[in-house]
Amino acid sequence: MIFLIFIVGSLFGLLGGALVSIRFIRQEVTGDLLPRLSRIQGQLNTIEAEVGYMVNSRYAELNARLSPEPQQQNR
């Protein structure tokens, strides 16, 4: 009987310890990831803006070359 009580108590202790450990591990992991993810998002936004600028510049350059008549400025 004492052995059964010891086993049940040990299982409850392991379950409680595991729940507490998982809770703290999850907090640490998310606390560590959020600043890193925001920094990566900022870098991706910068790359997206640069690529958009380069594509638009190239498109304008190609349109200027392919136009049948040179562009004239009105004075």
Q: Is 60 helix (H, G, I), strand (E, B) or coil?
A: helix
Residue pLDDT, tens place only, 5-31: 999 999 999 999 999 898 888 888 777
Using only the alpha carbons of the chain, give its radius of gyration.
Answer: 32
Q: Cα–Cα distance between 33 and 40 in angstroms, integer? A: 10
Percent of the chain clearing pLDDT 90 (strictly above): 48
Which of the two residues, 69 and 65, has the higher pLDDT score?
65
pLDDT tens digits, 30-68: 777 788 888 999 999 999 999 999 999 999 888 888 777
Q: Give me the residue spans of the domains in the chain.
A: 32-60
